[in-house]
Amino acid sequence: MSPMNENRSTASGGADATKQALAWSHTARFYTTAAQLNQLPAHDLAEIAFVGRSNAGKSTAINTLAQRRQLAFASKTPGRTQHINLFSVGPKDAPDAIWADLPGYGYAAVTRSAKLRWQQVMADYLAVRRNLAVVVQMVDSRHGLTDLDKQLLSFVAPRVANGAVKLLVILTKADKLNRKESDQILRQTQDQLAEMATDESDIQIALFSALKKQGVGEVADILRTWTQNCRPLAFPDEILNQPEAEDLDGSDEAPPLPAP
Ligand SMILES: Nc1nc2c(ncn2[C@@H]2O[C@H](COP(=O)(O)OP(=O)(O)O)[C@@H](O)[C@H]2O)c(=O)[nH]1
Ligand SMILES: [Mg+2]
């Protein structure tokens, strides 16, 4: 774990906390899927959004965190999934968080119009989804933050700066790096994210390997701790008073959805 700001809440740490955090993340189960923002269900839970370039290892990381083989579909054809998939986490009768798996980005074969649509969906979601409490950005540790990753971060930067949204950057596939390379990418990413840091912000970076099960407990612990701590922060007045994202197709009726 690599906190950007020492005086903010960090994961609780310790073997017991890690065990509890992994038990918590293991409860993740499919909730619903939405083709567009206006289909996302209204709920009162903190939402943790997983974002990343296609092929960054997002689906694999979500499955590894949940300790489930196929919770998030690890696609062999990157760029195909444009839906937002929601998972509920916590006790069956009283979930305490929603994980949102957002569409991967940066797949070369996607058309320009599809790219523009993606940009609009992501910008709307990250800027105004009122439940959004945490953004988890998956970044391939061999490449570090790309221009597209930085563009995506810019959509949510104001809410990270005022502390309404916490940011965890996961450097994936860490098994592909040696110690020196890991240290280097960690430091480089830290320097880049320092530009977003304020007194209110909560930004962390974790090295992660699904293959070696590195960073799994640590990430689960950070997310669980943030879920427990961030609820009042997730709903500051200015966010509550903001309208939900613009409808993309003109209809404002969301279809009825099953309970989480
Ligand atoms: N070596 C290694 N490969 C990984 C790891 N995580 C994912 N991958 C591979 O990276 C590719 C993309 O993974 P996927 O989860 O589908 O990426 P997504 O497009 O971001 O959802 C797949 O071939 C995975 O097997 C990891 O921790 N280590
Ligand atoms: Mg995927």
Residue 49, Cβ density class (10 Å: 0-12 exposed, 13-18 middle, ≥19 buried): buried
Most confident of 28-32, 109-113, 180-184: 180-184
| Cα(86)–Cα(47) distance, integer angstroms | 9
Alpha carbon nearest to ligand 1 atom 24, residue: 57
Cα of 240 from ligand 2 centre, angstroms: 31
Closest ligand 1 atom, CA of 76? 16
Contact 118, 125 (CB under 8 A): no
Q: Is the pLDDT of residue 169 over 90?
A: yes
User: Sorting pLDDT into bands at 50, 70 and 90, what band is 232?
Assistant: very low
What are the structural domain ranges in the chain?
A: 4-241
- What is the separation of C-alpha 72 from the centre of its chain, rounded to a whole number of angstroms? 13
CA-CA-CA-CA torsion sign (196, 179, 75, 91): negative
CATH 3.30.465.10 fits 4-241, yes or no: no
Who has greater pLDDT, 188 or 84?
188
Give the count of beta carbons closer than 10 Å to the beta carbon of residue 104.
Answer: 24
Alpha carbon nearest to ligand 1 atom 14, residue: 57
Q: Is the pLDDT of residue 39 over 50?
A: yes
Say what the pTM is: 0.85
CA-CA-CA-CA torsion sign (217, 218, 223, 224): positive
User: Sorting pLDDT into bands at 50, 70 and 90, what band is 235?
Assistant: very low
Q: Which residues contact 253 (CB under 8 A, 6 or more apart)?
A: none
Rg, Å, the chain Cα set: 17
- C-alpha closest to that of 42 among 186, 243, 221: 243
| Cα(225)–Cα(219) distance, integer angstroms | 10
Cα of 80 from ligand 2 centre, angstroms: 9
Range 5-13 average pLDDT = 54
Range 83-100 average pLDDT = 93
Token pair listed for 80: 């195909």
Q: What is the pLDDT of residue 82?
A: 72
Range 99-109 average pLDDT = 85
Q: Is the pLDDT of residue 243 over 90?
A: no
Q: Is the pLDDT of residue 202 over 60?
A: yes
CB under 6 Å to ligand 1: residues? 52, 54-60, 74-75, 78, 104, 138, 172-173, 175-176, 209-211
Cα of 79 from ligand 1 centre, angstroms: 14
Cα of 174 from ligand 2 centre, angstroms: 18
Q: Is the pLDDT of residue 122 over 60?
A: yes
Q: What is the pLDDT of residue 238?
A: 41
Contact 130, 235 (CB under 8 A): yes
SS3 letters for the chain? CEECCCCCCCCCCCHHHHHHHHHHHCCCEEEEEECCHHHCCCCCCEEEEEEEECCCCHHHHHHHHHCCCCCCCCCCCCCCCCCEEEEEECCCCCCCEEEEECCCECCCCCCHHHHHHHHHHHHHHHHHCCCEEEEEEEEECCCCCCHHHHHHHHHHHHHHHCCCCEEEEEEECHHHCCHHHHHHHHHHHHHHHHCCCCCCCCEEEEECECCCCECHHHHHHHHHHHHHHCHHHHCCHHHHCCCCCCCCCCCCCCCCCCCC
User: Sorting pLDDT into bands at 50, 70 and 90, what band is 65?
Assistant: very high
